[in-house]
């Protein structure tokens, strides 16, 4: 990279909010993801449950700050619906049961920085999500000369 170029860097881009261990359900996820402007980011929301009767009826992704925005919804009955045109939503099935999804954000920008929520609507336990108050906020994005 040439020195003296004006480059914008996102140092801490995403963190996801989940509840863990409720009803014997555990999530497999990453709390924080760092990315530079222009990179592709994959956000994973996977469930690992020992309850064979547990079914995911819907997965909803939202961006929680600075204002809440719905991003995408997936239902096994109706398929995917995306509220943003520039994203992709992939689902993961294990032994014929929906296990979770991956939200793909291509070519991220400063606006993409923030907190993302994955909400699972399950049967028979209902909606599973939680906003953890001890989560760390991402540092602010800086713009300047990078060598």
Domains located in the chain, CATH noted? 13-133 (2.60.40.10)
Q: What is the DSSP string of 44-63?
A: EEEEEES-TT-EEEEEEEEE
pLDDT of 74 above 90: yes
What would the pLDDT profile of 105-146 be if each residue is shown by its tens digit? 898 888 888 888 888 898 888 887 744 322 233 334 444 434
Worst-scoring range by mean pLDDT, 5-9, 84-88, 124-128?
5-9
Q: Find all residues with CB under 8 Å of 73, minimum gap 6, and list them.
A: 58, 59, 60, 61, 80, 81, 83
Contact yes or no for 108/39 (Cβ under 8 A): yes
Confidence (pLDDT) at 19? 41
Contact yes or no for 105/88 (Cβ under 8 A): no
Confidence (pLDDT) at 75? 96
Confidence (pLDDT) at 79? 95
Enter the tokens of residue 105. Answer: 């954000």
Contact yes or no for 56/120 (Cβ under 8 A): yes
Mean pLDDT computed over every residue of the chain:
72
């Amino acid at each position: 990279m040439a020195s003296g170029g004006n480059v914008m860097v996102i140092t801490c881009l995403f963190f996801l909010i989940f509840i863990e261990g409720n009803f014997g359900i555990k999530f497999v996820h990453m709390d924080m993801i760092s990315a530079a402007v222009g990179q592709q980011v994959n956000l994973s929301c996977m469930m690992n449950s020992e309850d064979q009767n547990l079914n995911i009826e819907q997965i909803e992704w939202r961006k929680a700050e600075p204002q809440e925005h719905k991003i995408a919804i997936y239902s096994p009955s109706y398929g995917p619906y995306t509220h943003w045109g520039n994203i992709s939503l992939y689902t993961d099935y294990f032994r014929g049961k929906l296990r979770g999804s991956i939200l793909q954000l291509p070519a991220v920008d400063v606006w993409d920085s923030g907190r993302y929520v994955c909400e699972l609507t399950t049967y028979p336990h209902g909606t599973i999500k939680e906003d953890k108050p001890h989560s760390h906020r991402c540092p602010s994005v800086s713009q300047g000369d990078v060598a």
